A and B are shown apart, each in its own frame.
Chain A
């Protein structure tokens, strides 16, 4: 196996050495990963203020996501209860995130933890949103299990208006700033989610709810609204 590596790398080196000498090549690559040249950010990905929130909602809805605006975090349990009722679910699985654990759930049957195969409704806390395409960004961690993003029939995600960024690059910048001093820069999993699960594999007809959630709902907390 290590021999394979040596041989593959040997062939790459032989081909590349004809273009650049290896020192220049390796320092060129290093330089790029240090300087992190910005990509071309489309104009659509540069919205500010209320226009940014409006674009996020608009693009999310275009991808069949349902957005519910709430005036504060305290309204989340009641909104979630309504969604459970609509889905015919007696219980709610919640990501063990402090923001969600801190709410008053006394009126309903809830459990905190990872996703299970028979969860009807799951509630997660977004890390960020991307206005450009109405995309949610969730990162895995003790407070945000990845399985909860995919197993429930209805996936409900709480996001604060100020967590909505204009473009993907701004979210990478947040993650870079939050990177630990030691260990890997990124969490094990980052999910960009743009709408509910779908497939077009049967005669190219788009159907929602393939293997992931049939419905995706965003609870957008905007205290200024």
Chain B
């Protein structure tokens, strides 16, 4: 994918586009409600210890973050002992250059890639391609969006927004060496074609690049989870394997990683366990018949160290399961592209302002109703609504909230500090609205409420008789 500049602040534009797209709306309903949400509930119901495991997972991550430098040091030692190389990258640019250097050193022409959000975060593919190295995404969803030159719309289902007919068109456009009249009507036809196309590319790749879901300090091990087996082929076939990940992914022990794994797939897709969980430690051993002779791991910071101990500390617990976006009513209406950068949904609205700067993403924290479902389903109890509120406050303080908005808030604050005036004004407003609404008691159209009245009437408040009135009227009557 050629990465476009962040467009988080164009959220409203993207949201409108998504809301007007009927096909996308149907895909969203099917994927989220009937798909991920239902599957997670079913998965949870098979494990009575699910909630207790969430508490454990939170505690493990908290403990690790409190000792992060110690665990990273141990991780580095163990990787080195196992014949691997650890690289530290402060910025996306450094991470890209480290990876490019490794590829150039082995004279790489093509690189096979397992799915990695950090690779998206650092816009790795563009950098490799610009330097004459062809990156090939191998996760089916990532492969489809790479061909279509689109960003992922979900962190674990990157192409869910694309229909099978669109996939067929894309394959016809790109796999031109295959017969034009072939049948691509069924999803299995598409899968088999992609499998055929990618098989040789796996075998020919000079370097394999994957992410890492979890790092284990005790043994210097990294792990990936995949259902397709693509990440696993990427890490075992090419002579060089590079794993690119971020510093907060480390946990102390194999047992700790196991606790997280009991939650990850179940929360994400409702599976008992992802089909393939692959743990890798260092380079190919002397007596082994396969595996990469060179192993590198790139540890990206990209402002995470600044979050440690600060107001956004809790975000560092995230295991990227996608549950927050799967259950978010806003994400479920606008899908991932509206968020304008790598991480969509509630986690993106908290993370993107941190990674890109508030200037570039101050709109996102407002793309939420603060309904709290994201926190409710988070396997590591990240208080996402609180963090969104913190960003809103910061955006306001940074002057990012526009004039009219600010004026309204100031006016309201002025009134709210003066109870008598507040009561007078609300009573007046109520009467006025009653009057304007006439006998119907409803508005077909109302200034500033076009979004509401497009599909339904806006009810006027009840008159100040024995049933209605302002809050204070009713409070005085003893309604409580």
Residues of chain A touching chain B, judged by Cβ–Cβ distance below 8 Å, are 1-2, 4-5, 7-9, 11-13, 15-16, 18-20, 25-26, 28-30, 32-33, 36-40, 42-44, 59, 62-63, 96, 113-115, 117, 133-135, 140-142, 145-147, 149-151, 168-169, 172, 183-205, 207, 209-213
Contact = CB atoms under 8 A, between A and B. Distances in A.
A203 B27 contact: yes
Nearest to B227: A198
Interface string B255-298: 11011011000000101111111111111110111110000000
B160 A185 contact: no
Contact of A191 (B82, B195, B278, B310): B278
B289 A142 contact: yes
A191 B78 contact: no
B167 A202 contact: yes
A30 B310 CA distance: 25
Contacts of A207: 187-188, 191
A146 B187 contact: no
B236 A150 contact: yes
A59 B272 contact: yes
Interface size class for chain B? 35 or more
26 contacts: A1-B88, A1-B98, A2-B88, A4-B94, A9-B73, A11-B306, A15-B310, A25-B69, A28-B67, A30-B70, A63-B275, A114-B289, A114-B290, A147-B236, A149-B232, A168-B261, A184-B82, A186-B281, A191-B276, A193-B276, A194-B273, A195-B275, A200-B269, A203-B164, A210-B191, A212-B230
Contacts of A192: 273, 276-279
Contact of B140 (A9, A12, A201): A201
Interface string B154-178: 0001111001100100000000000
Contacts, number: 281
Contacts of B279: 186, 189-192
B291 A211 contact: no
A165 to B, nearest CB: 12
Nearest to A118: B199
Contacts of B72: 9, 12
A42 B47 contact: yes
B277 A38 contact: no
B48 to A, nearest CB: 7
A4 B52 CA distance: 38
B252 interface: yes
Contact of A204 (B30, B56, B237): B30
Given A36-B255, A192-B277, A11 B287 contact: no
Interface stretch (B216-224, B381-389, B399-407, B411-419): B216-224
Contacts of A29: 67, 70-71, 74, 217, 252
Nearest to B141: A201
A94 to B, nearest CB: 12
Contacts of A117: 199-200, 202-203
B227 A32 contact: no
Given A16-B309, A194-B275, A147 B48 contact: no
B243 interface: no
Contacts of B191: 199, 202, 207, 209-210
B49 interface: yes
Given A40-B259, A42-B262, A198-B228, A186 B88 contact: no
Contact of B202 (A32, A62, A211): A211
Given A12-B308, A16-B309, A36-B255, 18 more contacts: A8-B305, A33-B253, A40-B49, A42-B48, A42-B53, A59-B272, A140-B285, A140-B291, A141-B287, A142-B289, A145-B290, A150-B229, A172-B258, A184-B281, A192-B277, A199-B140, A202-B140, A210-B191
Interface string B227-254: 1111011011100000000010000111
B36 to A, nearest CB: 9
B252 A183 contact: no
B66 A39 contact: no
Contact of A201 (B53, B81, B159, B252): B159
Contacts of B281: 184-189
A16 B49 contact: no
B284 A188 contact: yes
B82 A39 contact: no
B35 interface: yes
A210 B309 contact: no
B139 interface: yes
A139 B276 CA distance: 13
B47 A188 contact: no
Nearest to A115: B290
A63 B262 CA distance: 15
B376 interface: no
Contacts of A12: 68-69, 72, 247, 305, 308
